[in-house]
């Protein structure tokens, strides 16, 4: 199926690692133009850009901390200069923060997680929407998590940020829908990336993860990237203001396949 993403201008935040890098590759495979936002590991970004260009893709690397409004504004202005705007924004940048009970959590840590995961997504969405509303088209995909729904002890800032992203997406979808702009969340389950490497690299940790997944395997970044590409395309032209769970059935609560 031709997803008709050829030539589309796509920006992926945190695009040099894990899910972001997989989405960069997946959009480029559909012949979209892809801008890779990053804030650390320029060497990983250069490597990815090199691979993409060698494959004939039109890619840009854009250094910006998504929590900084000025840096985000400048990043979109660079995109305006290079490609005349943006068609698809994937807000992917995120951290989970150190595991700690709320009563042991420093407010600075809480704020940092909220700033990156929620405020960063808002700042990027705001710049994207200025352009998308004016051009009467565009798609914003926010990366929430199964933890927009499932509580996660030790990660109150993370779960709050992801639940916040869900409602931010619904509200932006309501605001921008009549202007031809769709806004939605992808909500991944446990996907093998650096963010949870300490869990899946450990045999007991991996087994525990698998016991929480109905189809019995940890996800791969490509499981998420393929769905993101479809959701950004006109195939999903009637999908907005919702979260699409890509979780192998984690939200099907497989612990209830026994007992209860
Ligand atoms: P990752 O750690 O490989 O990637 C996170 C990316 O965000 C990195 O490129 C990092 O540099 C970037 N980033 C962090 N702070 C930033 C900032 N201030 N400005 C710009 N970029 C920044 O982890 P992963 O798994 O690829 O995470 C991507 C997103 O997916 C995150 O939002 C995460 O919460 C979400 N997610 C991941 C799941 C998983 O199981 N791997 C499941 C559900 C959601
Ligand atoms: C977290 C991962 C975790 C997954 C399932 C994601 O939001 O970033 O570390 O493995 O949820 O719990």
Q: Is residue 208 part of a domain?
A: no
Mean pLDDT of the residues in the chain: 98
Percent of the chain with pLDDT over 70: 100
- 205-248 pLDDT, tens digit per residue, is 999 999 999 999 999 999 999 999 999 999 999 999 999 999 99
* Mean pLDDT of the 9-32 span: 98
Number of domains composing the chain:
1
User: CA 198, CA 181: separation in Å to the nearest integer?
Assistant: 38
- Exposed/middle/buried for 28, CB within 10 Å: 0-12, 13-18, 19+? buried
Q: Is 179 labeled as catalytic in the residue annotation?
A: no
Helix 42-54 / helix 18-29 crossing angle, nearest 10 deg: 20
Give 65's DSSP letter: -
pLDDT at 260: 86
Provide the CATH number for the domain around residue 117: 3.40.50.720
Take residue 83 and report the two structure tokens written for it.
């490609």
pLDDT at 243: 99
Rounded to the nearest whole angstrom, what is the distance from the C-alpha of residue 55 to the centroid of ligand 2?
31
Coil, helix or strand for 218? coil
User: CA 235, CA 229: separation in Å to the nearest integer?
Assistant: 10
Nearest ligand, measured from the Cα of 246: 1
Its domain, for residue 135, covers 9-192+220-250
- 123-173 pLDDT, tens digit per residue, is 999 999 999 999 999 999 999 999 999 999 999 999 999 999 999 999 999
User: CA 186, CA 212: separation in Å to the nearest integer?
Assistant: 19
- 40-66 pLDDT, tens digit per residue, is 999 999 999 999 999 999 999 999 999
Quickly tell me which residue has 């960069």 as its tokens: 24
pLDDT confidence band for 180 (50 / 70 / 90): very high
Q: Is residue 169 part of a domain?
A: yes
Instruction: Show the DSSP H helices in the chain as ranges.
Output: 18-29, 42-54, 69-83, 107-114, 120-135, 156-176, 197-200, 203-211, 221-232
Q: Is residue 105 part of a domain?
A: yes
Q: Is residue 82 part of a domain?
A: yes
Q: List Cα–Cα distances, 40 to 66, 116, 129, 168, 206, in angstroms.
A: 12, 14, 26, 26, 27
Rounded to the nearest whole angstrom, what is the distance from the C-alpha of residue 51 to the centroid of ligand 2?
28
Ligand 2-lining residues (CB < 6 angstroms): 96, 145-147, 189-190, 195-196, 199
Q: Is residue 4 part of a domain?
A: no
Q: Which of 38, 155, 158, 179 is catalytic?
A: 158
**Residue whose CA is closest, atom 7 of ligand 1?**
93
Say if residue 1's pLDDT is above 90.
no
pLDDT at 190: 98
Take residue 220 and report the two structure tokens written for it.
């791969």
Q: Is residue 205 part of a domain?
A: no
Does the global pTM surpass 0.95? yes
Locate the ligand 2 atom nearest the alpha carbon of residue 196 and give its number. 9
Q: Is residue 1 part of a domain?
A: no
Report phi then psi at 50, rounded to 5.
-60, -45
């Amino acid at each position: 199926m031709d997803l008709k993403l050829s030539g589309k201008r796509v920006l992926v935040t945190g695009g040099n690692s894990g899910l972001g890098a997989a989405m960069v590759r997946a959009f480029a495979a559909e012949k979209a133009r892809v801008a890779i936002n990053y804030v650390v590991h320029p060497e990983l970004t250069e490597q990815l850009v090199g691979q993409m260009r060698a494959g004939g893709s039109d890619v840009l690397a854009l250094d910006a901390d998504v929590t900084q409004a000025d840096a985000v504004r400048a990043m979109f202005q660079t995109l305006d200069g290079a490609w005349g705007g943006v068609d698809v924004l994937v807000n992917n940048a995120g951290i989970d923060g150190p595991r700690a009970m709320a009563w042991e959590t420093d407010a600075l840590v809480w704020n940092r997680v909220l700033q990156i995961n929620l405020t960063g997504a808002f700042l990027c969405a705001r710049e994207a929407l200025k352009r998308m509303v004016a051009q009467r088209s565009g798609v914003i995909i926010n990366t929430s998590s199964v933890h927009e729904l499932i509580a996660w002890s030790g990660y109150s800032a993370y779960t709050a940020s992801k639940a916040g992203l869900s409602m931010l997406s619904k509200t932006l979808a309501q605001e921008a829908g009549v202007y031809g702009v769709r806004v939605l969340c992808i909500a991944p389950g446990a996907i093998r990336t650096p963010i949870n490497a300490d869990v899946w690299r450990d045999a007991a940790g991996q087994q525990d993860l698998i016991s929480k997944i109905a189809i019995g395997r940890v996800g791969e970044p490509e499981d998420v990237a393929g769905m993101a590409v479809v959701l950004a395309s006109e195939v999903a032209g009637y999908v907005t203001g919702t979260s699409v769970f890509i979780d192998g059935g984690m939200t099907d609560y497989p612990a209830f396949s026994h007992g209860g």
